[in-house]
Amino acid sequence: MLRRLGRIAAGCLTGFVILSLLLTMLYRVAPPPVTPLMLLRSAEGYGIRKNWRPLDDISPALIRAVIASEDQRFCRHFGFDWSAIEMAWEQYQSGDGGLLGASTISMQTAKNVFLWPDRTWLRKAFEAYFTALIELTWSKRRIIEVYLNVVEWGPGIYGAGAAAEHYFHKPALRLSATEAARLAAVLPDPLDRSANPPDEDVRERSAFILRQMPRLPALSPPPCGQKL
């Protein structure tokens, strides 16, 4: 019985690894058609509004704004910001908070594309696996391109194309720096925040992002000097 269970477990593990590798290589060149979060929100009645845009059709201001807001070390780490992870772990051990994310853009991309929204250790373990996988097989440019196209920007609104049309009635390529900063300010709480009209929290957060954007290292060609 133990031998049979071992064979089943080994088969499941092998199947998971093969499937994850196939999906990762597929999404290296093709847009993910849907994500677990999209399906969950759709079941909750929000629907799915998305409009995939290549990175060249997204305003450089939005790329800078999201990196300034979410992960200023994006161009310098290999998927994990260990200093932020250490701080989150110390806070968790001290009992001052729950299981915090300390998430990089790479980690958020892995979570959004492959996984369910949760804060359990199991989900975090899968997130670390897929983060390492996309960092090994995708360029930084591809990671930010996928992230900007699948991230949730409002109830049922996914990706820069749909967000730009919804909030500002224009293509993502034509977003100004102020509009880009407002969109980036929405990301931590997309169900309760709005880029237009912005509330006080979004205005304050977007002002901070605008101050941070010029301090980022050179991102041309965006991001991190990489091409697809």
Report pLDDT digits (tens) over 40-89: 999 999 999 999 999 999 999 999 999 999 998 898 888 887 666 666 55
The number of beta carbons lying within 10 Å of the beta carbon of residue 34 is: 14
Q: Are 151 and 112 in contact (CB under 8 A)?
A: yes
Indicate the Cα dihedral angle 181, 184, 185, 191, nearest 10°.
140
For residue 228, what pLDDT is reported?
38
For residue 40, what pLDDT is reported?
94
Residue with tokens 């090994």: 136
DSSP 8-state secondary structure symbol assigned to residue 224: T
Distance CA 132, CA 114 (A): 13
Question: SS3 of 17, please?
Answer: helix
**Tokens matching residue 62:** 């939005």
Q: Is domain 34-215 in CATH 1.10.3810.10, yes or no?
A: yes
For residue 224, what pLDDT is reported?
78
111 vs 2: which has the higher pLDDT: 111
Q: What is the DSSP string of 137-179?
A: HS-HHHHHHHHHHHSEEETTEEHHHHHHHHHHSS-GGG--HHH
Per the document, the length of the chain is 228
Q: Are 149 and 159 in contact (CB under 8 A)?
A: yes
Report pLDDT digits (tens) over 155-213: 999 999 999 999 999 999 999 999 999 999 999 999 999 999 999 999 999 999 999 99
For residue 131, what pLDDT is reported?
96
DSSP 8-state secondary structure symbol assigned to residue 85: H
Distance CA 68, CA 182 (A): 12
Instruction: Indicate the domain borders of the chain.
Output: 1-30, 34-215
Contacts for 50 with CB less than 8 Å, ≥ 6 apart? 38, 149, 150, 157, 158, 159, 161, 162
Distance CA 72, CA 66 (A): 9
